[in-house]
Amino acid sequence: MPAGFPPADAMGVELAEQPGVWRALLGRFAEARAAVGVALGGRPVERVVVAGCGDCHAAAEWAEWLWEPSLRVRGLSAMELSRARLHLLGPGTLLVALSVSGKTPRVLEAVACARAGGARVLGLTDHPASPLAREADAVFCLGASPPEALDRTDYKNPRAAVYSGYHRPVPQTKTFGAMQLALVAVGQALGAGEGGEAWGELPGVAGPAAEAAAAAGARAAAAARPGCRIAVAGTGPGLPAARFAAYKFLELVVPAGHGEIEEFCHTWYLTTEPGDLVLFLVHDEATYERVAEIVPVVEGEIGAVVQALCTWAPAGEAPGWAVGLPAVGGRVAGILLPFAAAHWVRAVARAWGVNTDRFRAGKDEERYVAGSTRMIRRSRLRVPGGGFPGRDDA
Instruction: State pLDDT tens for residues 37-67.
Output: 999 999 999 999 999 999 999 999 999 999 9
pTM above 0.85, yes or no: yes
Among candidates 233, 209, 217, which has minimal Cα distance to 325? Answer: 209
Among candidates 178, 184, 24, which has minimal Cα distance to 100? Answer: 178
pLDDT of residue 387: 53
Helix (H) or strand (E) holding 19: helix 10-26
By three-state DSSP, how is residue 10 classified?
Answer: helix
8 Å CB contact between 35 and 139: yes
241-288 pLDDT, tens digit per residue, is: 999 999 999 999 999 999 999 999 999 999 999 999 999 999 999 999
Q: Given a cut of 50, is residue 394 above it in pLDDT?
A: no
CA distance 212 to 252: 22
pLDDT of residue 354: 97
8 Å CB contact between 106 and 382: no
Q: Given a cut of 60, is residue 75 above it in pLDDT?
A: yes
Mean pLDDT estimate for the chain: 94
Beta-sheet strand order (sheet of 230-234): 257-260, 230-234, 277-282, 305-310, 322-324
What's at 208, amino acid-wise?
P
* Beta-bridge partners for 307: 279
Q: Given a cut of 80, is residue 206 above it in pLDDT?
A: yes
Q: Cα–chain-centroid distance for residue 81?
A: 18
Q: E strands along the chain, which residues?
A: 47-52, 73-77, 93-98, 120-125, 138-141, 230-234, 257-260, 277-282, 305-310, 322-324
Q: Given a cut of 80, is residue 224 above it in pLDDT?
A: yes
90-148 pLDDT, tens digit per residue, is: 999 999 999 999 999 999 999 999 999 999 999 999 999 999 999 999 999 999 999 99
Q: Per residue in 281-312, is it b (16+ CB within 10 Å) or e — as a string?
A: bbbbeebbebbbebbeebbeeeebbbbbbbbb
pLDDT of residue 2: 66
8 Å CB contact between 141 and 93: no
pLDDT of residue 372: 96
